[in-house]
Structure 1
Amino acid sequence: MKHPTIKKGRLIRTTDLKRTFNLLFLFALSIVSLSCGPSEDDSPEPTPIIDLQADDVVFMITPTSSIAFDGTATITGRVKNMADNFISVEGQQVILLYERSLGTPTDQPGTEIGRVEFTTLRTGETMQVSYTRPWNSASPAEGEFPPEYILRLSLDPDIQIDGNVHNNDNNSENNELIVSGKAINQLF
């Protein structure tokens, strides 16, 4: 037989006290768990920042004869990932290199001379596209009026709505770079 407890003139059973303490304990435990908030595992993944940049166009010349103005020019365009990892699928992005001769309207890119397709580019990584051609800095078409070289990162028009946040370029302003071929003549 359990002995009742008398408190302030009222009779309280021991089982009632245990229930009260259990309820208070559960109430306190629920308050503590609510105040902790969601765990880190419950938080949504942050949206990545994607920024691929047409970074540089580099020229190199290899002399082909004893004539001081003849050589083979290599034009290399480089795209660099300036932010989070870029992850996509085939056919949605390509690096293009164009040669635009003097007189070609500026709203036209010129002749495509290089193309590289890719699907991933990690933070800080670069990807290159190159083209090699004969160069004579004494000729008017190369020496006096050299072409321009255009490096362009081209993305599929619907890439922003394909449901993949890892290929949404946040800065399209740096996806093209135009460089004059005059710098090739300075390498002789």
Structure 2
Amino acid sequence: MKTLKLLSVLCITALFIACDSDDDTTSVGTIDLEATSITFTIVKDDDFTGTATITGTVTNIGDANFNSGNGQQAVRLYQRSLGAPAPGELVDTVSFTNIDAGETLTIRYSRPWNSSSPAEGEFPPDYRIVIDYDPDIFIDGNDQNNDSDLTNNDLTVSGSGINDLFRN
């Protein structure tokens, strides 16, 4: 009888050893979408006027791919003139579903610019990119669309950089 009990204990011990609870095979790594940069380019008509292009960049700085459904997330670009209420005027939106680790997504907006005018030259607008998620994205059952750091999903840059391009 002692042999049977010992054999039972050994079988149960072997079963527990075989079940490695520390190995989470469902882990997807770290997904971190970041509002990385806002840059400006211009095409001059003359010394003070031309077309300014504002380009926002979002990067998956994590080590895992972001995979989601349609309509659950978007990148938005805002233009906010001095004194206007936040967040400003929405000038473009780019919806997306997948961004692989290390991959970037860009959003662009072009507009006429006059660096000698008060509205652009003296008091240029700010430009802001925001990564927006559906409010229920963290409870949708998909771990591949959970951004690990929401503090880097928003970036604002002054449009004064556009005026600098006209001066150089």
> CA separation of 1:73/1:163 partners in 2, compared to 1, >3 Å: closer, same or farther?
same
> What do residues 64-116 of structure 1 show as CA deviations (whole Å, max 9, x unaligned)?
2xx311111000001100111100000000000000001113xx211111110
Match of 2:135 among 150, 157, 170: 157
* TM-score w.r.t. length of structure 2: 0.85
RMSD value, Cα: 2.3
Percent identity (aligned): 51
Unaligned runs of 5+ in 1: 1-19
Task: Report the CA distance between 1:31 and its aligned residue.
Answer: 8.9
SS of structure 1 residue aligned to 2:71: coil
Q: Following the alignment from structure 1 to structure 2, what is the Cα–Cα distance between the partners of residues 101 and 31?
A: 70
Aligned to 1:50: 31
Q: Following the alignment from structure 1 to structure 2, what is the Cα–Cα distance between the partners of residues 140 and 31?
A: 80
- Residue identity in the other structure for 2:57: R
Task: Report the CA distance between 1:140 and its aligned residue.
Answer: 0.6
Q: Does 1:112 align with 2:93?
A: no
Name the structure, 1 or 2, with higher relative contact order (CA <8 Å, separation 6+): 2
SS of structure 2 residue aligned to 1:133: strand
* TM-score w.r.t. length of structure 1: 0.76
Q: Following the alignment from structure 2 to structure 1, what is the Cα–Cα distance between the partners of residues 122 and 90?
A: 22
Aligned to 2:115: 137
SS of structure 2 residue aligned to 1:46: coil
> CA separation of 1:104/1:175 partners in 2, compared to 1, >3 Å: closer, same or farther?
same
Larger radius of gyration: 1
CA contact (8 A) 1:48 1:165 kept: no
Unaligned runs of 5+ in 2: none
Q: Does 1:101 align with 2:72?
A: no
Match of 2:52 among 73, 81, 106: 73
Task: Report the CA distance between 1:37 and its aligned residue.
Answer: 2.6
Q: Does 1:176 align with 2:154?
A: yes
